[in-house]
Structures are given as C-alpha cells and as structure tokens.
C-alpha cells in the first residue's frame, strides 16, 4: 500500500487544482472537486494509470469538460486583479488605522455613524430623482413622502445586507455609493438653495401683495370710489377710513404716488390724482378722486401743475334713494364743493 506515501502529493495536487478554479463560485468548485482526493488516491495506487500532469492543465480540462468557460479572459483578469489589490490595500489601510488607539476609536465612531449614511443615501437618491425630473419638492405631497420613506428603507436594508445581497448587485451598490458620495454636496447645495428661494419667494410674494396694490375689490384694483347719499345723490369730498382709522387710500404709497392710472371696463384709460385739499399729505382717501387727461403725464412720470383737473364723474347721475326713515344726519349736510372739506374729528394720526 503506497497511499501513505502518495497522500501528501494528492493533497497538494488537489489544492493546486482548486486554486486554478478559484475564479469560480465556491459551491461550483466544491461540486467540481468533490471526491477528488478519493479519485486521486485510488489513481495513485493504480500502476496502469498514465501520468497525471500539471494541476492547472487538469483544472482546465475539468472546467471545459464540465461546460464552464475557461479562466477569465485577460481583460477581466486585470479588472479582477485591480479589485483584489484595491481590497488588499483597503484592508491594510484599515489595519494601519486600527493599530493606533486613537485611530481605532475614530474608526469605531465612523462605523457607528453608518446608519446615518444609509438614511442620507435614501434621501439623496430621492433628491436625485427630483433632479432628473427637473423639480424639487420643498413641501412634498404624501406620495412623495412615502417614496422617500421607501427609498430610505431600501437603503438601510441594503446597508444591513438584508436585501439585494446577490453577488452581481455588489458592484452596482458600490458604484451607486460612489456616485452619491460625489453628488451629495451638490444635492445639499441644491436643496438649501431651493428652500431659500422658495422662502424668499413667499416673503417677496407677501411683500409685493402689501406694496403693489392700494385698494382692491374681488382681486381687482379699485381706481375710484363714488358715494351716494340716502336720497341717491352723488357725494363729493368723501373721506374714507378703515376700521383702524387708517385712510382708505387708493394707492399703497400715497406720499410718493402722484397719480394712479387704470383702465375701466370699457377700455378707457383714466388717470386719477389725489385731492390737494388735505393738509400735510396727498388726499388719496378723498373720493371721488379727480382725474387728468392721460396725455398730460410727462416722460418722467409727473403731472405738470398746469394740467387740467377734471372732477370725478360718477357712473350714475343718481341712484335709488334708501327706503324708510333716515338717521339723524341732515340730508343736506354733504356739500358739493370739494374745497370745503370739513376737518375730520377726531383727526386720525395718519
């Protein structure tokens, strides 16, 4: 019995064959070489058996007979080799950091933060989806929130190696990670910018809401107001104030506005000007406002003092008188002389 003598060479040969098949998945190698030692041992005892030859050639023969592709092509080999060397260097680097106490603590700290990256990765993927659609959700709707949560769950599960653990997924996950790491600063900048812009836009919106219009009714600008008394006769020189005692000016910036131009329902342009009878300020709350011919406005946007002032013409000569007994106000109290404006009492502070 020569088994004891042949045994080491059998082991060596089998090991060399397995090494030559190392590019295959482990279970494939196991299937191919299961029982190899037994066969080799028996063969070694067989005096008629021809020379076994080179283990690499043996492995190649085994591989081709089993219908498997020959050992990876040179180009794929370079890729695999560089991946292997990268992994080796990575491992060595980690080992170097781990060798110092401080480095080890730092590494542990970073490893603890890994779940943060997983969630961030889900969020970044979500943002990237919006980037591709060309819009950003500062206030996402419920579906978008559900999508965000879903992506974060997938990301965390991938991170925990619970989902998508197939071998071929690994390069995709690694590639996606690298892409997101590169893009995360941009995505952050973009998100902050968008949030800032939208906040600014809403501030701007409210600001412009306040500033641009004086009086509006039903969303449309009110250019002039015509008041009628209880008998249905038009009034002039009516001073209007709101519930807080503020003058109901036709323009929002009365002291700096010289005229207000509006177009009525018939398409006619009217340029109204404030009453000059209010002491200390333009009488933008004295109705009806008088007007000037549109052509008199100068190129610089001012109205020459020589311009013809036309009294506001009410849309109706009279309106229907009110029914029933009237309050104590005398019917002839209003005067049709705009210059005889009574001083309001109490005098508003504005």
Residues interacting with other proteins, by CB under 8 A?
A: 3, 31-32, 34-39, 41-43, 46, 48, 52, 58-59, 61-67
The β-bridge partners of 217 are 220
The β-bridge partners of 234 are 228
Report the nearest approach of other proteins to the CB of residue 139 (Å): 57
Nearer Cβ to other proteins (38/331): 38
Nearer Cβ to other proteins (56/297): 56
DSSP H or E stretch at residue 216:
strand 216-217
Nearer Cβ to other proteins (39/253): 39
Q: Which two tokens stand for residue 182?
A: 């590169």
Of 44, 36, 55, the residue nearest 7 (C-alpha): 44
Nearer Cβ to other proteins (58/130): 58
Distance CA 329, CA 318 (A): 19
Distance CA 53, CA 28 (A): 23
Report the nearest approach of other proteins to the CB of residue 192 (Å): 57
Q: Which two tokens stand for residue 247?
A: 């003058």
Q: Which two tokens stand for residue 129?
A: 């989806």
Report the nearest approach of other proteins to the CB of residue 135 (Å): 52
Nearer Cβ to other proteins (63/121): 63
The β-bridge partners of 228 are 234
Report the nearest approach of other proteins to the CB of residue 29 (Å): 11
Q: Which two tokens stand for residue 124?
A: 């970044």
Distance CA 21, CA 30 (A): 10
Nearer Cβ to other proteins (42/253): 42
Report the nearest approach of other proteins to the CB of residue 14 (Å): 9
Distance CA 160, CA 122 (A): 14
Report the nearest approach of other proteins to the CB of residue 43 (Å): 6
């Amino acid at each position: 019995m020569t088994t004891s003598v042949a045994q080491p060479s059998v082991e060596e040969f089998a090991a060399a064959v397995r090494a030559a098949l190392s590019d295959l998945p482990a279970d494939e190698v196991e299937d191919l070489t299961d029982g190899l030692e037994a066969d080799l041992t028996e063969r070694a005892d067989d005096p008629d058996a021809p020379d076994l030859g080179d283990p690499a050639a043996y492995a190649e023969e085994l591989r081709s007979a089993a219908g498997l592709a020959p050992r990876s092509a040179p180009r794929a080999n370079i890729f695999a080799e560089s991946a292997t060397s990268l992994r080796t260097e990575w491992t060595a680097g980690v080992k170097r950091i781990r060798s110092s106490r401080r480095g080890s603590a730092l590494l542990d700290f970073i490893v603890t933060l890994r779940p943060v990256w997983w969630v961030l990765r889900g969020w970044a993927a979500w943002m990237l989806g919006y980037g591709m659609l060309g819009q950003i959700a500062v206030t996402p709707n419920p579906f978008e929130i559900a999508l965000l949560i879903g992506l974060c769950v997938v990301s965390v599960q991938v991170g925990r190696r619970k989902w998508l653990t197939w071998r071929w997924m690994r390069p995709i996950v690694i590639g996606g990670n690298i892409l997101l790491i590169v893009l995360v600063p941009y995505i952050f900048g973009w998100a902050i910018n968008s949030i800032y812009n939208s906040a600014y836009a809403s501030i701007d919106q409210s600001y412009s809401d306040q500033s641009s219009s004086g009086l509006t009714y039903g969303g449309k600008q009110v250019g002039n107001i015509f008041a009628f008394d209880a008998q249905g006769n038009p009034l002039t020189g009516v001073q209007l104030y709101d519930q807080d005692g503020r003058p109901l000016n036709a323009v929002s910036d009365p002291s700096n506005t010289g005229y207000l131009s509006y177009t009525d329902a018939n398409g006619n342009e009217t340029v109204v000007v404030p009453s000059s009878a209010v002491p200390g300020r333009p009488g933008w709350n004295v109705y009806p406002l008088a007007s000037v011919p549109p052509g008199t406005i100068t190129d610089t946007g001012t109205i020459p003092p020589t311009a013809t002032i036309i009294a506001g013409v009410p849309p109706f000569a009279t309106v229907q008188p009110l029914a029933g007994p009237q309050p104590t106000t005398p019917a002839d109290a209003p005067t049709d002389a705009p210059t005889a404006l009574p001083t309001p009492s109490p005098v508003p502070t504005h």
